[in-house]
Structure 1
C-alpha cells in the first residue's frame, strides 16, 4: 500500500495540513448537524452555494467543491448509506471511500481527511463502519499513487480508539 494511514481525535473542520476534507453529506448537500454542519459553518455560505448545482447525490457518490473558509483546498462531499434503509449498506459505504479517493487522485490531491461516514445520524454500527472504511482505503490507495496521506478524524475518544484498534489489527 502506498500512502500513510492514520487515525486521530479532533475536529474535521480544523485539519489545516490536509488538501481536502470529506463531508458526511446529506443528499441535498445542505448544512445539517454533525460533520456537515461543522464544515458548512466554518466554510461560510459560499460552500452551500457551490453545492446547489451538484445536488442531489445518491448513496456512495462523491462530489468536489472548493473549501472556501476552511483551511483546505477542497471539500469532497459523500453521501453514506442510512443503515437499514439504503442497501446494500456495506457496498454503498465502501463506494463512498473509494469514490472520494479516486476523485482526490483525479484532482491531484496528496492528502484527504475522512470522518466516520454513516456512523453518526445515519446509524451505521461504528465497528462495522470502521472495518469497511479502513479496508476500502487500504484496497484503493494502491490505485491512487498521488495520495500520500489519509487521516480518519474522529470526534470522540471512543470512536478514535475503535478506528485505531482496527487499523492496528490490519497492519
Structure 2
C-alpha cells in the first residue's frame, strides 16, 4: 500500500473512504468531526444515530472503527474512529495505532481502494504532533490490506506537513 502525505482540507479529498476523528457519541463535534458532519450533510448524522440506536448505544469505544455513508463528501464512505486523549502518565499509543489499523480493516472490508486519514488525536486530544505522525506512519507502513492500495495522511497546515515529512524521512 502506498502512503502519501498531503496538506489539504480532508473534506475535499477524493478517495473511497475518509476517516473521521470522531468523538465516542458519533453525533458530531468540533475539529475534523464537525467539519465532516457539516460538509457531509444530514445523511451522516442520520447513519450515526442509527448506529447509536442499534450497535453502539454507549458510543463507539476508543480505538474502534465503524463506517457510514459519506453523504455529500467526495467519498463513498466515512470511517469513524475515536482516538485516545494523550496522557503524560499513561501510554495510550496502542489505542492510537488501533484507530489506524481498525479503520484500514473496515475500509478493506468495504472494498475501498483509497483512504484518507486526518492526524488522529492531534487536535483537542492534545497528542504531540511528531509522535502522532510516527504512530500513524508505523501502522500505514506495515499494513497489508487486500483492497486498499493508497492511504493519504491529510494534514491541515504547512507546519504539520513539514513535521510529518521530517518524521517520514527519519529526522
| Fold conserved between structures, TM > 0.5 | yes
Match of 1:166 in 2: 167
Runs of 4+ in 1 over 6 A off after TM superposition: none
For the 8 Å contact 1:81–1:87, the answer to whether it is kept is: no
SS of the residue corresponding to residue 169 of structure 2 reads helix
Match of 1:150 in 2: 151
Match of 2:121 in 1: 118
Q: CA deviation at 1:54?
A: 2.3
Match of 1:52 in 2: 49
**Structure 1 stretch displaced more, 61-70 or 51-60:** 51-60
The whole-number CA distance in structure 1 between the counterparts of 2:122 and 2:132 is 6
Q: Deviations over 1:37-58 (max 9, x none)?
A: 1111111111111011324101
Q: CA deviation at 1:169?
A: 2.4
The whole-number CA distance in structure 1 between the counterparts of 2:119 and 2:73 is 19
Match of 2:12 in 1: 14
Query: What's the C-alpha RMSD, in Å, of the aligned pairs?
Result: 1.6
Match of 2:73 in 1: 70
Match of 1:134 in 2: 137
Q: Is 1:37 aligned to residue 38 of structure 2?
A: no
The whole-number CA distance in structure 2 between the counterparts of 1:43 and 1:25 is 14
**Structure 1 stretch displaced more, 65-74 or 159-168:** 159-168
Q: CA deviation at 1:147?
A: 1.0
Q: CA deviation at 1:26?
A: 0.3
**Structure 1 stretch displaced more, 45-54 or 130-139:** 45-54
- How many residue pairs match? The answer is 165
The whole-number CA distance in structure 2 between the counterparts of 1:99 and 1:15 is 21
Match of 1:4 in 2: 2
